[in-house]
Each structure stands twice: as structure tokens, then as C-alpha cells.
Structure 1
Amino acid sequence: MSFLPRARRVGAIASLATVSVIGLATAASAHVTVNPKTAEQGSYAKVAFRVPNERDDASTTELVVNLPADHPLSSVSVRPLPGWTAKVEKSKLPKPVKTDGGELTEAVTKITWTGGKIESGQFQEFDVSMGPLPTDTDQLVFKADQTYSDGEVVKWEEAPAEGAAEPEHPSPALKLLPKGSGDATGLTAQVKPVAAKSSVSSDDGTARLLGGIGIAVGVIGIAVGAYGLNRARSRA
């Protein structure tokens, strides 16, 4: 008599685990990120700002990416994206920066994409070619604003900290590896890059894996519950 309630509890716990894991997978893939995650100091690279729409009742209609003025980039260009218009803004640097091409007094500090839509359950990638990447820092942080069709603006501007938990709205960050490092991905030669397909983020693979695990756990839970129910009925 006591087996039936126990089976129901097992099934309920398994179903709850399924919902929790799928929710975790969704949250893990909902941030605005830069892909690939790493590049080599001193190189030119093509990166993609990946923007998922995490809202069920609104579409994403604008993306603003702020480039770090403390580590200015002398060469920045955007890849045309059908349906979207990119506006590239330059700013005067507070202090000139010496580069191989001479003294840099202004640099691109903001890129704004408008005109298109990212619907619920979809994502878009906005490609930017940039370089040469600085050699005096181990990461570049890009603060981003994501605007929805209902007027809400989500600011992805919390800088990630080494060893700390991920903030609620982390900024897209590009980790810079030492020159000659074999671990860097998505790199180009030491010349201005030719546009290429962006690497697939490991975040998406992790999210899919977690979602698959959750679904498998749920299926097992349902099977256990059904077995318990059938066994209880056969005993009755």
C-alpha cells in the first residue's frame, strides 16, 4: 500500500529535476556573449556578439555594444547584416595612444544595430572585425544594451571577476592570451582579417547537454512512477 505514494514521490522529484535542469540550460544561454571567447594579444580577430531573445512577449529590436576606451582599437569594421543597420561612432581619446601606424587620437567606442528583430526563441550574431588587440591586458570587456520592442532595456554591464560567481547581467568579455599561445581560437593572421564564420560557443553546447540530461531524468521518473502505479494496482 505504501509503494504507490513512494512511486508518485519519485516521479514528482524526477519531473521537478527535469524542469530545473532545463531552466538552468535556458539561463546559461540567455546572456549576450562574444564568440569566440578567446583571442591572441596583438592580433586581428573577427568576433560575433551573440544575442538571444529571452522574452516570450517581446522581440529584440536594438543592440548597442560599447568598446573599451581604455584599450582603444585602431581598426574596427562591421559585417553587413540583412535587415539591420549598423551605426559606428568614434570618440576622442582622453590620451593619445601610440600604434604601429602612428599616434591614435580617436577610436570607435560604440556600435549600434537597429532595424531588425530577434523573435522569441531565436538569436542573432553581429560580426565585428577588430585589431590589433592590446598586449597590456588579459581581457576586453564590452558593455552592451539590449532593447526590446516594449521599450525595456537590459544592460549587460557587470564585469566578470576571476574566481567569483557570474553576475546577473555579465558583460560580454574577450579573454586575451599571450602572443604565440596555442590555446587561442578564432584568430586571424597579423593583417586585417577576411570575414569568416564564427566559432560555436561552448555555452550553447553546455546548455544543450544540460537540457538533454534533464529530459532523460524526467523520462526515467515517469517510467518509475508508471511501474509503481501498475505494481500497486496488480497488488490491489
Structure 2
Amino acid sequence: MSTYRFAARAGVVLAVAGSAVLLAPGLASAHVTAKIIGEPAVQGGYTKITFRVPNEDATAGTVKLEVRFPQEAPITSLRTKPQAGWSAVITKAKLDKPITSHGTEITEAVSTVTWTAAAGTRIGPGEFAEFELSGGALPETDQLVIPAIQTYDSGKVVSWDAPPPAAGAEEPEHPAPVIKLTKKSEGGDDHAAVAPASTSDTKTGHTEAASATGSDNTARWLGGAGLVVGALGLGLGAGATLRARKAVAAAKAGK
């Protein structure tokens, strides 16, 4: 069997095996999760939280998501990102013990955020959606556990509220979304992270622009590196082609 045919058959076998793993019932399920994408979540700072909501029902669709923020680790201000076909409501609750944020006494914090689908809108079978929140200040804790309640148009309700398991323990069937928080660096300039909740859109835009500039510089560096590697590859390819032609010419001359 030629090397080419062996590699081709091996590729087919691996592809089939990979598909089988992906389709296995134990790995096909997904959970409602919370992520901090593109930046660290710093204690005392401000960030964007993305809730990823997969639809796990084969026939029904998700029409409501409610996330609950712990009052023992309060967040005082949140804003929702518009989501086509969905309405969002932020509810606050009075704190048992007021906290001080940037010199201001805070007596209430976000309790729940609820997204509800309009008529004809849902997250269908085999689909997922993402819901985004922006705000803070983030509490001074290592992790923030945010239970989520997922409601389907069939009436089924799934509570993703199990706390994180202890080290070495198995993951619960319905784990609550969790985000990890890092401590603020001493002497560091975390201006964007600790901006007050009343920060204007102009300042927020500046922060996002700075982040975009950093990403753009990284992309340019990677692009330049790719061009260099590509040029080296072309040079090696051209050299190999030239040597092959010389070998063929030499062989013809020797006949």
C-alpha cells in the first residue's frame, strides 16, 4: 500500500472516530455557562459577562433565561446588551449591610437579570445564544457563582444552580455558571477596570478602543510573522524545484 493511500485511510478512520466521540450522549450535553472573554475579571473592576445558553431539548425551545447574582458578593450596576427578539429586565434588592464603592455608600445591588423571548422567538433544538452584561464593581472574591434558570416553551424549567464541586469531585448534573476573579495588581494602573459605574459612554468607548488597538497590533504582528514564514516556504519550494530540474537535466545529458 502506498504512503498516500495509507495516510488517506488513516485520516478517514480518525474523522469517523472523532465524529463518534462528538456524538456520544455523555459528551453531547452542554450547560449554561458564564465567561469573561478577552480581558481579565479584576476584583473591584468592571467587565463584560457573557452567558452562553445551549438548547438541550430535542423538541422544545428556550424562551426565558434568569440569572441570579449573590447578595453576599454584590454587584451594584449592570447593563444589558440588546438582543434581537428578547427583552431584558434588571431587578435590584436592598442589601442587608450597605457597602462603600468609590466613596459612595451603596444600599442595593443587582439581584436578578431576566431575558424573555418575544412571540415567535426562541433558542431552538441544536442552537445556542449568548446574552451579555456589562458593569461592576466586581466583588472581592475569588469566584462568582451565578445560578441560572432556563425555561422552555414546553413548560420545562431547568435550574443550573449546583455549586462548584470540591477538588477531585465529579461535576454536578446542573452546575451553576461561575466566573473566576483575579486580585487587582498592586501599583498597577487598572483605570479601565475600576472606572465608576457612572462612567460616560465616551470613556467606555475609549477603553474599548484601547483594547481594540492592542488586539489590532497583535494581529499585525502575527500577520507579519505569517508573511515571513510564507516567504521562507516559497524560497524553499523554489529551491527544491530548481534542484529537481537540474537533476532531471543531468540525467538526460548522461543518457
TM class by shorter-chain length?
0.5 to 0.7
Q: 2:94 aligns with which of 92, 109, 113?
A: 92
Alignment match, 2:7: none
Deviations 1:79-120 (A, max 9, x none): 111100001111111111122141111111101100241011
Structure number with the higher helix fraction is 2
Q: Tell me the equivalent position of 1:122.
A: 127
Which residue among 136, 159, 163 is the counterpart of 1:155?
Answer: 159
State how far apart, in whole Å, the 1-side matches of 2:18 and 2:129 are.
30
Match of 1:22 in 2: 23
SS of corresponding position for 1:128: strand
Secondary structure (helix, strand or coil) at the match of 1:119 reads coil
> Given the two structures, how large is their TM-score scaled by the length of structure 1?
0.67
Alignment of 1:210-229 (within 5 A): none
Q: Which string of whole-angstrom CA distances, capped at 9 and with x for unpartnered residues, describes residues 175-195 of structure 1?
A: 1112139xxxxxx53325559
Distance apart, 1:17 and its partner CA: 8.8
Corresponding residue number in structure 1 for 2:175:
170
Kept in 1: contact 2:42–2:193 (CA 8 A): no
For 1:83 and 1:21, locate their aligned partners in 2 and report how far apart those are by CA, in whole Å: 31
Which one of the candidate residues 17, 41, 44 is aligned to 1:42?
44
Kindly provide the amino acid, as one letter, of the partner of residue 34 in structure 1: A
**Structure number with bigger Rg:** 2
Alignment partners' CA distance in 2, 1:132 and 1:42: 5
What is the identity, as a one-letter code, of the residue corresponding to 2:143?
Q
Aligned-partner Cα distance in 2 for 1:17–1:99: 50
Q: Percent identity?
A: 43
Q: 1:79 matched to which residue of 2?
A: 81
Amino acid corresponding to residue 35 of structure 2 in structure 1: N
Q: Do 2:66 and 2:114's aligned partners in 1 also have CA atoms closer than 8 Å?
A: yes
In 1, distance between residues paired with 2:108 and 2:173? 32
In the alignment, structure 1 segments of 5+ residues that lack a partner are 1-14, 182-187, 197-236
**Which amino acid in the other structure matches residue 174 of structure 1?**
I
Residue 101 to residue 86, structure 1, CA distance change in 2 (3 Å): farther
Shift of 1:48: 0.6
How far apart, in 2, do the equivalents of 1:18 and 1:51 lie?
23
Separation in structure 1 between the aligned mates of residue 42 and residue 96 of structure 2, nearest angstrom:
26
SS at match of 1:25: helix
Task: Summarize the Cα distance change of 1:75–1:94 in structure 2 as closer, same or farther, 3 Å threshold.
Answer: same
Moved over 6 A (4+): none
Match of 1:144 in 2: 148
Query: How far does residue 153 in structure 1 lie from its aligned partner after superposition?
Result: 0.3
- Which gives a bigger RCO, structure 1 or 2 (Cα 8 Å, sep 6+)? 1
Q: Which structure has more strand as a fraction of its residues?
A: 1
* C-alpha deviation, 1:20, in angstroms: 5.0
Q: Which moved more, 1:31-40 or 1:80-89?
A: 31-40
Question: Residues of 1 paired with 2:138 and 2:108: CA distance?
Answer: 16
Aligned match of 2:229: none
Q: Following TM superposition, by how much is the alpha carbon of 1:156 offset from its aligned partner in structure 2, in angstroms?
A: 0.2
Report the counterpart of residue 32 of structure 2 in structure 1: 32
